[in-house]
Amino acid sequence: MASPLEPAIVGLGLTPMSLSAGGVPVDLAIEAVAGALADAGLAPGDVDGLLVNSSQGVRPDRLGVALARQGGLGDLRLLEHVEIKGATAAAMIQRAVLAIRAGLARTVICVFADAPLRAGGTSGSTYAHSGGNDGARGLERASGVLGSVPTYALLASRYFAVSGGDPEDLCAVAVSTRAWALGNPDAVVRKPLDAEGYFASRMISAPLRVLDCARPVNGAVALVVSGEATPGQAPRVHVRGMGQAHPMRRRRAPGESWFGGGRAAVDGALEMAGLTRADLDVIELYDPFSVVTLLLLEEYGLVEPGQAGKVVRSGATAPGGDLPVNTGGGQLSGFYLQGMTPLAEAVVQLRGAGGARQVPGASTALVGGIGGRVDHHACLILDLEPSR
Amino acid sequence: MSPNTAAAASPAAAAQAQAQAEDWLVDAALAPLADGSLAPLYAGAAAGELTLPFCAACGLALELEQRACDGCGATDIRWRPVERAGSVHAVTLVHRREPGLVRVTEPYPVLDIELASGHRLIMTTLTATGSAPAIGRPVTIGFRHVGGVAVPAASLDPAGADDSPATSGTTPVPGTTPAPDPSAAGLPAAAHTSSEPEVSP
Ligand SMILES: [Zn+2]
């Protein structure tokens, strides 16, 4: 029998976001799950679905479906590991909603945990040593492409060449995003930032400076999606629209290899929701690097082509602006927990729980998640109303 | 990794010496897997050729890890030498230098090169340089040796890569004069990458 209500996000749990080594993903995940269940007013026995988003790639202690047993859950009707890289978080919500609508489950937990910060090494070092020596990645690594920053720096270089723009635009993104972080107690970087401070920061791979890069943390986020009436106090956040796009850009002339093709995910989500871009109150984007915010604003049709830098420099995306973007400080200044970062912030805003960084009256949000080298896009349109 | 075997002719000794010299940029620990999925590229590189994949049925330039043609669906892939020339498609100067893996003490360039064949390959430069070339700048392709494996690298020298003609698609190996710089492997070549991700986003 199908659930009585339209599936909605009814629980949200975040661990503290730590900049110190320590914690293992499974423990962090269990803590976040407990928080999300308490938020929803539910007990473990009320859950019949679990979707797990591991941190792909380098970590031996990645989360798996064994989390259900380790976390004390009861019998489940839905248990899956979802994996489309950074776009996984939004994709898990999509999967949960569809499963509930189909009657395959009633109440589903979606969880992600990561602990890249380890004693004796930086996250940058962890990434630099990952990737192996076979295939295209092996050839790149032999050419000095270690970690993900150089590849996104190449993307930035190409984006500037095609769309215009320059480091002042990157600076504007970093400053705007930091301004939002000041109002978010969960953000790990809450020191005011101006252009002078930005340009004084260390260059990592030109044009990307350290302040253009996400802040990895050890932490976890869990959400509860349910089609049942739940006793939690927070308003239900409905998933009105969803879309994905996986453009097969080829690494050959004459097309662009580094970006393009993601807009269909947003177009599809808006069409499903029956909304337009003008209806969106807050925009929460996956921003592992400042250039990605600029790129996605254009690629998703939120600003005119070539205008992202100008729009951000105008202050429109910052607190008080008319196009609020990454209102919790994003991954740059908030915390980098992959797709959970924009998703969690959207839920906080629609609940009106944003405190000092609350966007007044926010009732609709776009969540944009990307994966790989902007190879995967998964989008959600969240809304306080189940229908309009 | 075991060193690739160089050509058999008289320059073989010189080529072998180059192959065994340390690379200017990275430690031998980053040597690519020469007999792995890109074996044709590395075998060609060892002989001074830039060898890349094409669809055997329709001739479309394919990505390094592509196994079926997106143009016609054929699964017959042919690797063949291409012209060792291209231009800068995207560029960065990498300032972060991972201890133990990167040998230089100054920032180094990483280039995305669009080759005359249409392929795009990521590579660094043939020799050390602290400046990043502009997008659109023409380059020729030579080879570095990392742990004995020849990998494509871009030459910014307007005269071409060392002794090799800038655009000789099928010229065999290094030629006459030994490259003046130990890191400047004989010739041309370049290589790149396809999409893949290990580190998140
Ligand atoms: Zn074909």
Calculate how close chain A gets to B133, using CA atoms only, in Å. 12
Residue A134 within any structural domain of the chain: no
Whether B158 shows a pLDDT value over 80: the answer reads: no
Residue pLDDT, tens place only, B138-153 = 999 999 999 999 999 9
Q: At what angle do helices A290-299 and A149-163 cross, to 10 degrees?
A: 40
CB A131 within 8 A of CB A141: yes
Residue scoring higher pLDDT (B67 or B199): B67
Given this model, what pLDDT does residue A132 score? Answer: 87
A 238-257 residues with CB < 8 A to B: 248-253, 257
Residue A122 within any structural domain of the chain: no
The count of domains in chain A is 2
Given this model, what pLDDT does residue A56 score? Answer: 66
Q: Which residues of A touch B32 (CB under 8 A)?
A: 133-134, 138-139, 141-142
Residue B54 within any structural domain of the chain: no
- Asked whether the beta carbons of residue A133 and residue B95 sit closer than 8 angstroms, the reply is no
Q: Which residue of B has its CA nearest to A210?
A: B96
Ligand 1 centre and the CA of B170: distance in Å?
22
A324 with A271, same domain?
yes
Residue B47 within any structural domain of the chain: no
- Asked whether the beta carbons of residue A146 and residue B102 sit closer than 8 angstroms, the reply is yes
Looking at A201, A226, A251, which one is the last position of a domain?
Answer: A226
Q: What is the mean pLDDT of residues B161-174?
A: 35
Ligand 1 centre and the CA of B114: distance in Å?
20
Residue A307 within any structural domain of the chain: yes
- Asked whether the beta carbons of residue B201 and residue A85 sit closer than 8 angstroms, the reply is yes
Q: Which residues of B touch A292 (CB under 8 A)?
A: 201
Q: Which of B99, B108, B195 sits opposite A144 (nearest CB)?
A: B108
A279 with A308, same domain?
yes
Q: Which of B32, B118, B149 sits opposite A252 (nearest CB)?
A: B118
A200 with A287, same domain?
yes
Beta-carbon-side half-sphere exposure of residue A45 (alpha carbons within 13 Å):
0
Task: Give the three-state DSSP class for B45.
Answer: helix
Domain hosting residue B113, numbered range: 23-37+83-185
Residue A354 within any structural domain of the chain: yes
Residue A299 within any structural domain of the chain: yes
Q: Which residue of A has its CA nearest to B136?
A: A161
Residue A124 within any structural domain of the chain: no
Given this model, what pLDDT does residue A253 score? Answer: 97
Looking at A198, A226, A254, which one is the last position of a domain?
Answer: A226
Given this model, what pLDDT does residue A116 score? Answer: 87
From first to last of its 388 residues, chain A has per-residue pLDDT tens of 678 999 999 999 999 999 999 889 999 999 999 999 999 999 999 999 999 998 765 567 788 888 999 999 999 999 999 999 999 999 999 999 999 999 999 999 999 999 988 887 777 777 788 888 999 999 999 999 999 999 999 999 999 999 999 999 999 999 999 999 999 999 999 999 999 999 999 999 999 999 999 999 999 999 999 999 999 999 999 999 999 999 999 999 999 999 999 999 999 999 999 999 999 999 999 999 999 999 999 999 999 999 999 999 999 999 999 999 999 999 999 999 999 999 999 999 999 999 999 999 999 999 999 999 999 999 999 999 998 7
Calculate how close chain A gets to B103, using CA atoms only, in Å. 10
The count of domains in chain B is 1
Q: Which residue of A has its CA nearest to B199?
A: A148
Given this model, what pLDDT does residue A288 score? Answer: 97
Residue B100 within any structural domain of the chain: yes
Whether B197 shows a pLDDT value over 70: the answer reads: no
Q: What is the mean pLDDT of residues B6-29?
A: 74
Q: Which of B94, B118, B121 sits opposite A150 (nearest CB)?
A: B94
A152, A159, A198, A336: the catalytic one is A336
CB A208 within 8 A of CB A149: yes
d(CA A246, CA A378): 9
Ligand 1 centre and the CA of B84: distance in Å?
23
Q: Is A201 on the interface with B (CB under 8 A)?
A: no
Ligand 1 centre and the CA of B67: distance in Å?
11
A289 with A198, same domain?
yes
Average pLDDT of chain B, as a whole number: 79
Given this model, what pLDDT does residue A141 score? Answer: 97
A167 with A281, same domain?
yes
Q: Print the SS3 string covering chain A.
A: CCCCCCCEEEEEEECCCECCCCCCHHHHHHHHHHHHHHHHCCCHHHCCEEEEECCCCCCCCCCCCCHHHHCCCCCCCEEEECCECECHHHHHHHHHHHHHHCCCCCEEEEEEEECCCECCECHHHHHHCCCCCCHHHHHHHHCCCCCCHHHHHHHHHHHHHHHCCCHHHHHHHHHHHHHHHCCCCCCCCCCCCCHHHHHCCCEEECCEEHHHECCECEEEEEEEEECCCCCCCCCCEEEEEEEEECCCCCCECCCCCCCCCCHHHHHHHHHHHCCCHHHCCEEEECCCEHHHHHHHHHHCCCCCCCCHHHHHHCCCCCCCCCCCECCCCHHHHHCEECEHHHHHHHHHHHCCCCHHHCCCCCCEEEEEEEECCCCEEEEEEEECCCCC
- Asked whether the beta carbons of residue B119 and residue A252 sit closer than 8 angstroms, the reply is yes
A103 with A205, same domain?
no
Residue A336 appears among annotated catalytic residues:
yes
Q: Which residues of A touch B89 (CB under 8 A)?
A: 158, 257
Given this model, what pLDDT does residue B141 score? Answer: 98
Looking at A168, A200, A226, which one is the last position of a domain?
Answer: A226
Ligand 1 centre and the CA of A135: distance in Å?
21
Question: Helices (H), strands (E): how many in chain B?
Answer: 2, 7
- Asked whether the beta carbons of residue A139 and residue B64 sit closer than 8 angstroms, the reply is yes
Q: Which of B33, B98, B114 sits opposite A128 (nearest CB)?
A: B98
Q: Name the one residue in this structure whose structure tokens are 């269909």.
A: A264
A203 with A54, same domain?
no
Q: Which of A124, A136, A370 sits opposite B201 (nearest CB)?
A: A370
A252 with A349, same domain?
yes
Whether B20 shows a pLDDT value over 80: the answer reads: no
- Asked whether the beta carbons of residue A142 and residue B198 sit closer than 8 angstroms, the reply is no
A91 with A156, same domain?
no
CB B140 within 8 A of CB B169: no
Given this model, what pLDDT does residue B195 score? Answer: 28
Q: Which residues of B touch A147 (CB under 8 A)?
A: 96, 98, 199
Given this model, what pLDDT does residue B12 score? Answer: 67
CATH of the domain at A326: 3.40.47.10
Ligand 1 centre and the CA of A244: distance in Å?
27
A276 with A197, same domain?
yes
User: Which residues are in the CB-under-5-Å shell of ion ligand 1?
Assistant: B 55, 57-58, 60, 69, 71-72, 74
Domain hosting residue A104, numbered range: 8-117+217-226
Residue A286 appears among annotated catalytic residues:
yes
- Asked whether the beta carbons of residue B194 and residue A251 sit closer than 8 angstroms, the reply is yes
